Structure 1
């Protein structure tokens, strides 16, 4: 039984569990279009990320240069090696499966070690850089580096004294400050003598006469050049004419020759 003390003085019942009433909460509006858009963005981003990962991981075998090859030289199989590159590079790389075809072509530019081979670097016909000619050298030990030479090496050519005669150029003269090794034939190959290495080099046209003259006399030595360097041009040394020390008639060995005036007047 309720008493007057259990009621509020203003006649309103108190709020609480006793009355069973709650504070009203505004209803949350649902937007299906926004939720669907959010789901599409999440799924699309995941698909794009997965594609980029798969594309970056896809690699193909292509041809790389294992050893230098001079411009105009036929590309040997030993100069080719397989490397893996990304298929999304967009460059004109030559597939490793075409290596047999590449060995039947010639280099249009000097191929350096580590470069990736492209179609613009090869040609089906032999060619030499414009303004240069190929000169053959028959070299003996001491006329080339002990480690040998490879096609594409940059070298300098010097005149040396020959055993059979004079080459016409002073020993030590720089015949070609920069030349490129075109081909190398080791002793015993192609009827080459056992003590000689046949080396073909490309030199500028204006330097070819003195190189061929020294080569025919066996008076050429080859020096390997570091990258970006060339041999300095050293002009031949001029030797002063020797003066005769034999006294002429009427002159004593210990006295200087008399002047024309002294001879005419008879003065000593």
Structure 2
């Protein structure tokens, strides 16, 4: 008795027979080239930044407060080496020109000097201005006055006078502050006022009838 045999199907059977052929991936040389350029560009930029950060330039740093209208002095500036950041700091080689100029604004210690901070001629010391020295007694000036501050110059009549106090200069620039006196006074304070009131200020100052009031924040 013959055993019946099942016919064998040609080819693969099961899941393998249902797989479709995968087309080969298309190469995109343009994208590959762009990626290489981006990598190289980033590396170049990083290298330039590192090299740039290593560049040092000689600049001028202010060591003492220089009030608006006051001249820069050899004692108020020093040379420092800083990284070249592209900011237009004044080079130490230009210090001779700086010492012939005046502060356009009040410059604080530690400031790196730029061209905008200096002017060739001071409006405070120009025509129509006068410097007056005031030898003030205790109570006639606030403590801590310094060069570059702004003050009101006030006529304070004596106790026996019937006159009232009067402001002679609304915003005078403190040009110099001397050492305090031994008796506790403020020492000699030099202020710049309009020449039209300087005789009056000098007259009252000689009789001890002048006081100054600081104007915080005024420059």
TM-score when normalising by structure 2: 0.68
Alignment correspondent of 1:158: 154
Of residues 197-206 and 106-115 in structure 1, the stretch that sits farther from structure 2 once superposed is 106-115
Of residues 42-51 and 177-186 in structure 1, the stretch that sits farther from structure 2 once superposed is 42-51
Residue 45 of structure 2 aligns to a residue in which SS?
A: helix
Alignment correspondent of 1:172: 165
Deviation, 1:103, is 7.2
Alignment correspondent of 1:109: 104
1:208-253 deviations in whole A, cap 9, x for unaligned? Answer: 3321221233321122221149xxxxxxxxxxxxxxxxxxxxxxxx
Q: Supply the distance in 2 between the matched residues of 1:123 and 1:66 (Cα, whole angstroms).
A: 19
In the alignment, structure 2 segments of 5+ residues that lack a partner are none
In the alignment, structure 1 segments of 5+ residues that lack a partner are 230-268
Residue 175 of structure 1 aligns to a residue in which SS?
A: strand
Alignment correspondent of 1:253: none
Residue 214 of structure 1 aligns to a residue in which SS?
A: helix
Q: Structure 1's 33 and 195: CA in aligned 2 closer, same or farther, altered over 3 A?
A: closer
Alignment correspondent of 2:208: 218
Conserved 8 A contact 1:65-1:111: no
Q: Structure 1's 46 and 198: CA in aligned 2 closer, same or farther, altered over 3 A?
A: same
TM-score when normalising by structure 1: 0.58
Conserved 8 A contact 1:105-1:123: no
Query: Highest Rg: 1 or 2?
Result: 1
Alignment correspondent of 1:68: 65
Deviation, 1:131, is 4.4
Aligned residue-pair number: 209
Alignment correspondent of 1:203: 193
The correspondence of residues 87-106 of structure 1 with structure 2, limited to 5 A, is 87-90=84-87, 92-95=88-91, 97=92, 101=96, 104-106=99-101
Conserved 8 A contact 2:153-2:169: yes
Deviation, 1:65, is 4.0
Q: Supply the distance in 2 between the matched residues of 1:75 and 1:53 (Cα, whole angstroms).
A: 35
Tell me which protein shows more strand as a share of its residues: 2
Q: Does 1:39 align with 2:36?
A: yes
Aligned Cα root-mean-square deviation (Å): 4.3
Conserved 8 A contact 2:156-2:209: yes
